[in-house]
A = this chain, B = another copy of it.
Amino acid sequence: MTGPQPRARRATRRAGSANSPAPLTGSTDRPASIADVALFAGVSPQTVSRVVNGHPSVSDLTRSRVLAAIDKLAYRPNPAARALASGKSRTLGVVALGTGFYGPASTLLGIEAAAQKHGYFVSVATVHSTDRGSVRKAIERLTHQSVDALALIAPYTSAQEAVSSLATGVPVVVVEGDTRGDMSVVAVDQALGARLATEHLLEMDRGTVFHIAGPQNWLDARGRAEGWRRALRAAGARVNPPIAGDWTARSGYEAGQVLAQVPDARAIFVGNDSMALGALLALHEHGRRVPDDVALVGFDDSPDAAYFCPPLTTVRQDFAALGETAVRVLLEQLRQGGGARHELLGPTLVVRQSTTAGPWAGD
């Protein structure tokens, strides 16, 4: 025996000699393979595979026997082997940008929850820089990781271009992305949300509505600004230039300091809840009472918004639904292929004391 010492065959290792059956319990070191199950059930590996994958052409008797063997041996299909043989990994890749903020982070969690519900795994690559290169790199990271489909949380204008420039070969859905273009997009209707907020403020008869906007390289921020602008125009109200923040409470605070000194600014639509928080603080410090002197509306309905001082009227986005929709679109494309889908979810206005006299005692 001078030839190479082959690695012992699995079946031999596990089941002992060819004459003795596999042990009844999974007492050996390695997890059971499909071959072990086949041996144990007295069928071929292919039949086990059929049972596992729910193929119809298996007799009830065989199926139950195989299932029993699977149960007994605590068999779990090896996903790596599966992915190699079939090319499918039951894994969705998610490229997430801006996860430092409430919206994108919630979207990520929403996608994960939805994917889990549909039996998919989620492999995440977050991107912390704005430049196109790192987005591209993250996408490559994931596509090489053999994901079945890709979700891109692409709130930046630049992010989306990175995907379209890459022929990924797998279905892609852009979440919170640009609705134009040839890719599938799932997003909340930002402009509608902004319109709801703006009209709500206009109804209070406090003159035109000012706007503290998000960074204008974010699509949501643009959509909100655009919706606000259109609502004002439709009402014949004056459109003052918005003050651009960067989503942080700090930037909202700074914008608030500016607007606090504008006597006409008696109604403000803020691009998100964090900036609204900052604005509230600035207004308070300048002695401008909310809602008496200034009415304020935010965006997102973050969990804390209901306990701002005063509780914040804001536009709610349903991130769970967003994630669910994104996953649904991906799975549809996975199954049926077909063209790009566009899904737009409707946000809702949540009215609280920052725009109502109400039971709010803040003076």
Contacts and interface: CB of A to CB of B under 8 A. Distances in A.
A144 to B, nearest CB: 4
B83 A277 contact: no
Contacts of A141: 121
Copies of this chain, whole number: 2
Contacts of A113: 126, 128
Given A123-B123, A306-B249, A307-B281, A84 B91 contact: no
Interface in A109-139: 109, 112-113, 116, 121-126, 128
A262 interface: no
Contact of A307 (B125, B249, B311): B249
Nearest to A119: B141
A250 B307 contact: yes
A99 interface: yes
A108 to B, nearest CB: 9
Nearest to A256: B307
Interface in A238-278: 248-250, 252-253, 274, 277-278
A52 interface: no
Interface in A346-363: 361-362
A285 interface: yes
A78 B121 CA distance: 18
A150 interface: no
A112 B124 contact: yes
Contacts of A235: none
A164 interface: no
A38 to B, nearest CB: 18
B126 A303 contact: no
A303 B253 CA distance: 13
A15 interface: no
A362 B248 contact: no
A284 B353 CA distance: 14
Given A84-B84, A112-B126, A144-B76, A284 B309 contact: yes
Given A146-B80, A303-B249, A123 B122 contact: yes
A292 interface: no
A107 interface: no
A331 interface: no
A121 B144 CA distance: 11
A274 B304 CA distance: 7
A333 interface: no
A145 interface: yes
Contacts of A122: 123-124
7 contacts: A78-B146, A100-B303, A105-B109, A116-B125, A123-B123, A277-B308, A281-B309
8 closest Cβ pairs, A-B complex? A80-B83, A249-B307, A80-B84, A76-B144, A309-B309, A278-B307, A285-B361, A249-B304
Given A100-B303, A113-B126, 7 more contacts: A99-B109, A112-B124, A121-B125, A250-B307, A274-B304, A280-B307, A281-B309
